[in-house]
Amino acid sequence: MGKQHEEFEGLALPLLDPLYNYARWLCGDADESRDLVQETFAKALKGFSSFQPGTNFRAWMFRILRNTFLTSRVGLERRNTEQEGEDGLDNTPAAHDSPEMLLIRRADTELVQRGLKELDLRFREVLILADLEEMKYQEIADTLGIPIGTVMSRLARARRQLRDSIVQALQGGNRKLVAKR
Amino acid sequence: MSCDWQEKIALFADDELDALARDQAANHLAGCPECTATVAEHLALKQAVRLGANRYSAPPELHASIYRQLHPSTAVSRWWKWGLSGALALLLAVLGLVLWSQRRTDPLLAQLVDQHVIALAAVNPYDVISEDRHTVKPWFQGKLPFTFNLPEVAGTPYKLLGGKLIYAGSTPGAQVVYQAGQHKISVFMLQDTGRSIASPRSSFTVKNWKEGSVRFYLVTDANEAEAGKLATMLQEANRS
């Protein structure tokens, strides 16, 4: 095994779980996520010589996985069904009254997961990268290949949508049930 | 939004401010309930995602296949291949030997040879002791699901010693023993199972043949000629 190969393994293997987690949140399917991670490793190993030492390896790996996903059949379908319109940011101020915050604190796992899955892919992924993978804005920007400002605006919008979905579910849950009948 | 700080609240909550800005923000928060509430909500939401979002772990088989992907040569190394094929060859050889030796000694024949040896050594080797075939043969009546005839041995080198009921291959059978000079010859009669048995190579002379529904086995340490002659006599006695 070459030195470069060894170096790649040392860097990449610890990222296996985070990459798989990201894949699951991108495409939702377990089998597809597995294929995605395998393909990512294959591509990354092949292209490791093009990786610039000193730059962020995690962002590099995540970027490969994301590009692989986006160019896959499922990724293309997912992208086409989502509406465009990055800039029309909803600038209504975040409500800060304590009852809503209490609701967020009460949100259970199922509610949060449902809220996340309802988000557009580009909003869901920034939340996953920022809050679950605890990436810095710059790292997210490197991973997604977008400016830091866009990372921030997407994050803000993602959080607002998630918050609204949780609050609505907890406040209006009963009303909705009645209305459905 | 009245407060200028609101825009930096997300940066503060995401720990994206440098040390100086962070201190300034903390100072501001101490005196601004509005911003404090926003930070609290922001942090609550971050925590909800962290706790609520499932963190998926790669399944073990993915770990394994990635490892194989990274070690294509070591996964099935040359040594392994050689070792494996060697072990396989050995296994085949052992299997062949076992099958061959099974062919050599049919379990039923082995059992009958043992029975013959037991009769040679036993204190009471016979259930019925008689030199008269008209005593020995009737003794088996009602004990066996078949019948047989014994040849007249008067005027031959053979002497009838007796008979014994045996069990071989889970069926009852007859053992009739003759003396030929210094040797004893056991003749076993069992119901034929339709299976022809190759006569094995062993220190005993073993013959087997079928007459009607009965398979005869002859086991002796006497020589081939003596055994063959008695076998012929038995065959003739049972054909008529």
- Does the residue B6 lie in any domain? no
pLDDT at A140: 95
Read off the pTM: 0.52
Q: Are residues B90 and B137 in the same domain?
A: no
What's chain A's average pLDDT? 82
Over residues B104-108, the mean pLDDT reads 69
Confidence of residue A95 (pLDDT cuts 50, 70, 90): very low
Q: Which residues of B touch A33 (CB under 8 A)?
A: 56
* Residue B40 C-alpha, separation from nearest chain A C-alpha, in angstroms: 8
DSSP class of residue B152 equals -
Q: ipTM of the assembly? A: 0.72
pLDDT digits (tens, 9 = 90+) for A51-94: 988 889 999 999 999 999 988 776 677 666 665 455 444 444 44
Residue B50 inside a domain? The answer is no
Judged against a pLDDT cut of 50, whether residue A162 lies above it is answered with yes
Q: How confident is the model at residue A180 (pLDDT cuts 50, 70, 90)?
A: very low
A46 → chain B, closest CA residue: B70
Whether B68 and B158 map to the same domain: the answer is no
In B, which residues are within 8 Å of A45 by CB distance?
69-70
pLDDT, tens digit, for every residue of B56-102? 889 999 999 998 888 876 545 666 677 777 888 888 888 877 776 65
Determine whether the interchain pair B41/A100 forms a contact, defined as Cβ–Cβ distance below 8 Å.
yes
Cβ-based contacts of B74 with chain A (< 8 Å): 1
In this structure, the answer to whether residues B202 and B180 fall within a common structural domain is yes
Residues 6+ apart with CB under 8 A from B168: B108, B111, B112, B115, B188, B190
Clarify whether residues B122 and B67 are in a common domain: no
CB B118 within 8 Å of CB B110:
no
Q: In what order do the strands lie in the sheet with B205-211?
A: B128-129, B158-168, B171-180, B183-191, B214-220, B205-211
Domain that holds residue B95: 57-104
> Cβ separation of A94 and B41 shorter than 8 Å?
yes
Which residue in B41, B47, B51 has the most chain A C-beta atoms within 10 A of its own C-beta, making it the best mutation to test that interface? B41
Q: Are A146 and A139 in contact (CB under 8 A)?
A: no
- Taking CA–CA distances from B69, the nearest residue in chain A reads A42
Number of compact structural domains in chain B: 2
Q: Does B52 touch chain A (CB under 8 A)?
A: yes
Residues B94 and B126 grouped into a single domain = no
Three-state DSSP state, B176: strand
Residues B193 and B118 in one domain: yes
Which site among B11, B35, B55 would you substitute to test the A interface, given the most A Cβ atoms closer than 10 Å to its Cβ?
B55
Q: Which has more pLDDT, A81 or B226?
A: B226
Which of A22, A98, A101, A140 should be substituted to probe chain B, the one whose Cβ sees the most B Cβ atoms within 10 Å? A101
pLDDT digits (tens, 9 = 90+) for A115-145: 999 999 999 999 999 998 889 999 999 999 9
> How would DSSP label each residue in A42-87?
HHHHHTGGGS-TTS-HHHHHHHHHHHHHHHSHHHHHHHHHS---SS
On the 0-12 / 13-18 / 19+ scale of CB atoms within 10 A, B208 is buried
B2–chain A Cβ distance below 8 A for any pair: no
